[in-house]
Amino acid sequence: MSLSTRRRAIYTGLAGHFSEEELLPLLWLWETKYSEKPSFALNGFLAEIAALSERKLERARLYRELVGALSGPVSQLLPDPEARLQAWRRKHGVVAPKSAAATPDDQARETFEALADALFGLVDPERLPQLCRQAANNLNSLRTDAGVRLRLRSWLDQYGRLGAAGLELDHLKMLLNLIYIGLCELLGPVLADQTLTRAVQQVERLGLPMSPQKLL
């Protein structure tokens, strides 16, 4: 999962409990101390929030909501508040950690995750395993090294639940093409085109830094 997607998940989980004015310093705290840590470190993050806010929090509920946002569909997350967070940093004279600077591959992963999530959401859940198997069956036709093919196969074997970490823009284009071929085999080319178009339209409405068109 890209940094931007993780930030969107944290923002989504916190948004129902704090005002925008309160949220931005909490997001800065998260990105400087917790963005590269595993999910269980959220307990430490919530402990710091409780100390900073000086008010009683339903920490168990908040933890569940944060974990749910991090593990749930990308399409359900709020838009990335990075622009507002950047303005807050400038106002307070602080800088983002180096890890918070999104690269083109980070942006591609975020958009790909949202697009795959939208595509899979438009496919009958009972047919999703068949779609991923069909996509995986075409892996050997790719002109890429065995390590990349192995990562793509792992992604397909888990129906995308592994996230796209470590995959670059070219790899993501390959993976999307495999999924599209699988859709054509599963639904026929007309329905496959309609499904992909609907998924792209859903992702475009999210206003992500990278357009889904760049993955096609």
pLDDT for 76 equals 83
pLDDT for 158 equals 79
Angle (nearest 5°) at CA 137 between 131 and 138: 100
Its pTM surpasses 0.75: no
What are the domain boundaries of the chain?
A: 3-100, 104-215
Q: State both tokens at 31.
A: 């990105």
Q: CA-CA distance, 45 to 38, in Å (whole number)?
A: 11
In a structure prediction context, what are the per-residue pLDDT tens digits for the chain, which is 216 residues long? 677 888 889 999 999 899 888 999 999 999 888 888 877 788 889 988 888 877 778 888 898 899 889 888 887 888 888 888 888 888 888 776 655 556 777 788 888 888 888 898 899 989 988 999 888 888 888 777 788 888 888 888 877 665 666 678 888 898 899 999 999 999 999 999 999 999 999 888 877 778 899 998
Q: Ramachandran region of residue 160, left (φ > 0), alpha (ψ -120 to 50) or beta?
A: left
> Three-state SS across 2-16?
CHHHHHHHHHHHHHC
Which 8-state DSSP code applies to residue 78?
A: P
pLDDT for 14 equals 93
